[in-house]
Every structure is written in structure tokens, then in C-alpha cells.
Amino acid sequence: MDFACAAVLAAALGVGGCASLAPSYVRPAPPIPDTWIVDSSAHTTPSADGNPASLLFDWRSYFPDAQLQALIEHALSANRDLRIAAQRVEQARATYGIQLADAWPTIAGGGGYVRLHTPGVLPPGGTLDADAYQVGLTESNWELDFWGRVRNLKNAALEEFLASDSARRAATLSVIENVAKNYLLIRELDERTAVARETIASRSESLRIFRRRFEIGAISKLDLRQSEILLQQAQALVAQLEQLRSIQAHALAVLVGAPAQLQPAPLDDASVYPDLLAGLPSSLLERRPDIVAAEHRLRAANANIGAARAAFFPRVTLTGAFGSTSTDLHGLFASGNGAWIFMPNITLPIFDAGRNRSNLELAKAREGEAVAQYEKTIQDAFRDVADALSAREWLAVQVQTETDTLAAQSERARLARLRYDSGATPFLEVLDAQRDLLNARQQLIQTRRALLVSRVALYAALGGGVQDAQQTAAPSATGITLKEGQLP
């Protein structure tokens, strides 16, 4: 009988899991064109090796600014959103481990002692006192996976785990993108503040001259007040810019995971890689972590359909035990005291008030939702890239236009001042020219930053490299001071 039990178990191991009722997985066709349409008049700078993918997977090459690299390094090791995402991956990993264990028998060992006493009034008469000792192994309710129910549940858990890991990489990519954008905005504010301070110095000197002229009666009080207004407007702008910089510094500290003391510096147009090749294939989107996660969820939904279909078929489970029993402890392991029990069980669904049918319909509906979500994720990704490419091209045009405008405004301000000094025009013309000149300088800096941000957005939209950085950068090599003591 022991040999027969072993044979049954071996046959069960060989047969279980041979069938699967899950539908064959077919990746949906991407609902997007093969390439992005880019303005042919745009000027792009090819990568050194002609391969944009190599740059996308190396964020250190795409963001050559040493201070920005240091911030990203710290963010990848200390950002709290990334820690949350990492713990969700561990939760999914543990869930998969639990589901994987269901494919194997659960064997437990145990022992026990029973003391029995019956009174003499009970048949067959006479008082009975007995002892019983037992020890052995038990296995309970191991399902023979004839229809692939357990295997499909395991596959679904695996896909959910892989989806959570892709979601973690998507969160990593988002952190890199947001750190770069915040850094560029702070640099924009630094340069705009420097321009405004230069304007304050220039207008303060002009006001000093105007006061002297007013004292000797060479100009009117109106001209003096207008000169004061010019200075006060520049001073108000500096205060506004300093406030904005403080807010952005706080946001950057949350992203990085520690306060970063960035010394004021101008916006560097080379802090982000210039341009990728035009005519990028849309197949590059396959690396985007959110698209990868959506496909894993689709595969999980597909596997759950197989598990739901298996519920319509009989379930076969095995329960058994093997051990030794004796009425006295010293004879527990003696020859001839072995005991075993083997109980196969089969359950056939007959009436469940439509529960299994509803579960199958629910699984199919969830798969349909997963398909739609997968396609929508691809469409959103395609739009992100298209928007980034469009912004990159047209912002470059705007930068050139605003550069020409700034040159024209500078000449206009110079001529207006000459006309005023010669008495050919009132000071109001100088006032307007100076205002427009300051606005033109500020606008050009803002547009330059927007152009750099479009390059950052393109990197993220194409699913750029998201390698984890475990070590922190050396502050002395970057000029950044990070308060390490505030890291947990």
C-alpha cells in the first residue's frame, strides 16, 4: 500500500498542470503610427554614435551638468516616493511567493498524546484507562492542477509582480525628470535675478544722476518720479524672483530627500543633451516602464481568465498522513506500529447560482479593461513624445526670435535715451523702452529654460534610462552642499 500511495502521488505530479484554460496571449497592435512626424525645417543635432537609445539609457550622458547629476544621485537613493514604490515591489514579490507555494504539497510534522478514561457504566462494561502516543507527517488539501487553475493564478501573481517592478522604474524615471525640471527652473530664476540686479544697479546710478539734475533745475519732477518708478519695478521683480526660488528650492529638497544648498548660477544651455535624431521610430516606446507595466497587467488578466474557466471543472485534492502510534511511549517507534491514511477528494460544481459564470465574465471584463488601458498608455506615451518634439522644435525658433528681439530692444533703449538727452522726446519714451528691454531679457531666459525642459520631457517620454544609484555623489566635486544628517 505504501508503494501504491507513492505511485499515485508521482502520477499526480506528472499530470498536474498539464492543461491550461487561459486564452493564448496576443499582444494588441499599438494604435499609433510607426514614426513621429517632425517638422522637416527643424535643425537637429545627431548623437555622437548615431544611436539615440544609448543616450536614453545613460542619464549621466544625457544630463552632463555635474551639479544636476549629484542631485539625481541623491534623489535615487533618498526619495520617499521611490522607497514606497520599492516596498510595493516587495509586497508583490511576497504575494507571488505565496501563490507559488500553492503548487506544492504542504507537509507538516507533529506528535501527540491522548489519555482516555471511560466509566464502568458504559458498555461493554468495566472501567477503561488507556494511553496513546502518535507522531507523523500530514499533508492536507493539495490540489492536483489538472486544469491549470493554480498555475494560472501563479502566472497572474508573477505578472503583477513584474508590473509593480515596472511601476517602480516609472516612478524612478519621473523623479529624474522632476529633479531636472526643478533644477533648470532654479537656474532660470538665478539668471533672471542676476539680470534684475544688474538693472537695479544701472537704474540706481541713473536715479542718482536725475536727482542731481533735478536739484539744479535741469529736469522736471515728473522725470525724477518716472526714474524712481523704473528702479522700484526692478526691485519688486527681484523680491518676486527670490520668493519663487525659495519655493522651488523647497520642492527640490522633497525630491532629493535632503535640503540642497545650490549657489546662484546662470542657466547653462548645455546642461541637457542638445537634440536627438529626427525620425525616431515609435518602437522606442516599448522601453517605457508604464507601457511595460500595462502589458504585464494585461498578461495577468489573461491568466486570471484561465483560472476562472478552471472553476467549471472538477477539483481534485489529496489529503494524507503517515506516522507511528503506540499505547506506550517506549514503543512508539517499534516495528509494526506504522499508521497511514490517504484520502483523495473530488469536488464537482453542480449548482452555484451563477457564481462561476459571473467570475468568468468578471475576468473577461477585466481583461478588456486591461487591453484598453494598455492601448491608452501607448497613445498617451506617443502624445508625450510628439508634444516634446513639437516643443523642442518651436521653442528653438522662439529662442532665436527673442534673441533678435532683445537686440532690437537694446538698440531702441539706447536711441530713446539719446533722444531724451538731446531734448527731442519726453522721458516717457525712455521709460517704455527700459521696461520693454527688461521684459525681453527676462522672456528670453524663460524661453531658454523651456527649451531645455522640452529636452528633459523628451528623455522621459521615450522611457530614458532609470538605473538605480546606491551611492551618493561627493559634494566637493559638484559645489552642492547636502545636509546628510537629515537623511534617515
pLDDT of residue 57: 63
Residue 482 has pLDDT above 60, yes or no: no
| Range picked from 85-89, 236-240, 466-470 for highest mean pLDDT | 236-240
Report the distance separating Cα 182 and Cα 453, nearest Å: 9
Average model confidence (pLDDT) across the chain? 82
Look at 329 and 102; give whichever has higher pLDDT.
Answer: 102
| Per-position DSSP letters for 259-320, written without gaps between them | -EEPPP-PPPTTSS---PPSS-BGGGGGG-HHHHHHHHHHHHHHHHHHHHHHTTS-EEEEEE
- Among candidate residues 240, 50, 183, the one with its CA nearest the CA of residue 478: 183
Res 15 pLDDT > 50: no
Give the pLDDT band of residue 122 (cuts 50, 70, 90): low
Q: Is 407 exposed, middle or buried (0-12, 13-18, 19+ CB in 10 A)?
A: exposed
CATH number assigned to the domain comprising residue 30? 1.20.1600.10
**Residue 4 counted as domain residue:** no
Domain count, the chain: 1
Listed range (4-18, 250-264, 457-471) with the worst mean pLDDT: 4-18
Q: What percent of the chain has pLDDT over 90?
A: 47
Structural domain contains residue 87: yes
- Output phi, psi for 261, to 5 deg: -95, 95
Whether 285 is in a domain gets the answer yes
Residue 291 domain flag: yes
pLDDT, one tens digit per residue, over 127-161 is 777 777 788 888 777 888 888 888 888 999 999 99
Within-domain flag for 2: no
Judged against a pLDDT cut of 80, whether residue 36 lies above it is answered with no
* Residue at 227 is within a domain: yes
Q: Is 270 inside a domain boundary?
A: yes
Nearest Cα neighbor of 139 from 341, 347, 348 is 341
The answer as to whether 276 is a domain residue is yes
Question: Where in the sequence is the domain holding 383, given as residue range(s)?
Answer: 17-103+146-313+377-486
Residue 54 has pLDDT above 70, yes or no: no
Q: How far apart are CA 430 and CA 135, in angstroms?
A: 103
